[in-house]
Amino acid sequence: VDDMVAEDIERFENSFVGINKRYRIINRIGEGTFSTVYKAEDLEYYKYNNRWDIDERERGKWTSPAKVKRSSRRPHYVAIKKIYVTSSPIRIFNELELLFDLKNSDSVCPLITAFRHQDQVVAVLPYFQHQDFRDYYKDMKVSEMRLYMKSLFTALRAVHNRKILHRDVKPTNFLYNKWQNRGVLVDFGLAEREGTEWQQCNCTLPADERRYRVAHSIYAQNQQAGHQTTSYPKNDTRSSRRANRAGTRGFRAPEVLLKCTQQTTIIDMWSAGVILLTLLTRRFPFFHSADDIDALLEITTIFGRRKMKEAALLHGQVFETNIPSYSEHGHSLEKIILWCTGRTDTDKNAPKKELDDEEKEAVAFLYKLLECDPARRITADEALRHPFLTKSYE
Ligand code: ADP
Ligand code: MG
């Protein structure tokens, strides 16, 4: 733990009075735009017998922690998510409520409890041992990709069955333990139920901006209520500001980028497709777009103008570009994977380089995920029944 982190931990412990009576904070494990996550030891785990965690459920032998002998007690770790005070109370409540709703699905990191001290809310989750995506995406075998995707779709099926859109599916929000071939979905900060009120009224704003807007307007209200002399303009014509959600934009489905008003759980399947594309091309992040238009253009590079025009029409939008480098029909995913993995022919006489059979199967599956028309995209349940995931290769 370096000095900066130690200082941050100390500041947190001092500001959240009483937190260190219950938890010993060990390290900072995540720092994002909307929260900081700490690894901590639950000092009172064995005092409560209604506490469970993922490993206990996994082993299937479920003994009341209170009955565990003192000598065989192992330390119990949790992840403490400190949600930034700029997040709107509705958003915080939403995240906690959805997590609570999903508490019985094995593949979603369950909420143990949550605390509030003044304006600070923390969520406590079981600590899930996992590897950093950057440490394994470059050398994952196709057989390992199958297991990864299977685990991801098991999680998504559970979420989607409850009509919840995760909205932020990406490697840092799917904690994967490759020794157990098992992962859990985290971060329901942008998640919402299908057909949610704010989805309908604010549908033209991408999720992160929406979150930022809510926070921003609350901040403005607070400022007005306070002694600040600057007043907030009634009709704010400034374009909404973007919160920096690096890496997320590249995972957005075309219908999200096209600001479709009826978004469903199927948007998450596109994001899962981007993860598989990342694994197959060994490029992370695969897309680097600076904004939504850029993101649409990156997709156009692959799928071509014609598909994008069709996709736009589905949502009552017109897609036009005068950039000559985008081809009408785009490029095949096979070709893109060959390019990205350096298997292109420079010598015309050399034998044509091809994907191996397993990769070809992966690509066939990938086409079902990266389907621009949401109505034709594969669901999590269908994905789990797809030969790519059901076939056994041992
Ligand atoms: P944010 O909204 O800031 O992205 P997340 O819920 O995604 O917050 O958590 C940020 C990071 O913290 C994750 O990418 C992961 O590395 C770590 N993390 C979150 N929850 C857990 C957990 N239960 N176990 C282990 N690490 C976690
Ligand atoms: Mg996250």
Both tokens of 146, joined, read: 């199958």
37 lines ligand 1 (CB under 6 A): yes
Å from CA of 55 to ligand 2 middle: 22
Q: Which atom of ligand 1 is nearest to the CA of 175?
A: 15
183 lines ligand 1 (CB under 6 A): no
115 phi and psi angles, rounded to 5 deg: -130, 155
Taking ligand 2, which is a single-atom ion, which protein residues have CB atoms under 5 Å away? 173, 187
Question: Considering all CA atoms of the chain, what is the largest pairwise distance in Å, rounded to the nearest integer?
Answer: 77
CA-closest residue to ligand 1 atom 12: 30
Å from CA of 188 to ligand 2 middle: 8
Question: Of the residues 25, 26, 31, 37, which should be mutated to test ligand 1's pocket, given the most ligand atoms within 8 Å of the CB?
Answer: 37
CA-closest residue to ligand 1 atom 7: 187
| Cα–Cα distance for residue pair 108/155, rounded to 1 Å | 6
The pLDDT tens digits of the residues spanning 294-329 come to 999 999 999 999 999 999 999 999 999 999 889 999
What band does 219 get if pLDDT is binned at 50, 70 and 90? Answer: very low
| Cα–Cα distance for residue pair 355/228, rounded to 1 Å | 63
Question: Of the residues 29, 94, 135, which should be mutated to test ligand 1's pocket, given the most ligand atoms within 8 Å of the CB?
Answer: 29
Question: Measured between alpha carbons, how far is residue 291 from residues 96, 238, 239 in Å?
Answer: 29, 17, 13
CB 245 within 8 A of CB 189: no
Q: What 3-state DSSP class applies to 86?
A: coil
Å from CA of 250 to ligand 2 middle: 14
Residues with a catalytic annotation lie at 168
Looking at the predicted structure, is the pLDDT value of residue 64 above 80?
no
Reported ipTM exceeds the 0.95 cut? yes
What band does 56 get if pLDDT is binned at 50, 70 and 90? Answer: low
- What does pTM read for this prediction? 0.85
Beta-strand pair 164-165/192-193: antiparallel
186 lines ligand 1 (CB under 6 A): yes
The pLDDT tens digits of the residues spanning 249-288 come to 899 999 999 988 889 999 999 999 999 999 999 999 999 9
Query: What pLDDT score does 197 carry?
Result: 57
Which of 78-82, 106-110, 231-235, 347-351 has the least mean pLDDT?
231-235
Å from CA of 336 to ligand 2 middle: 28
8-state DSSP, 173 = G
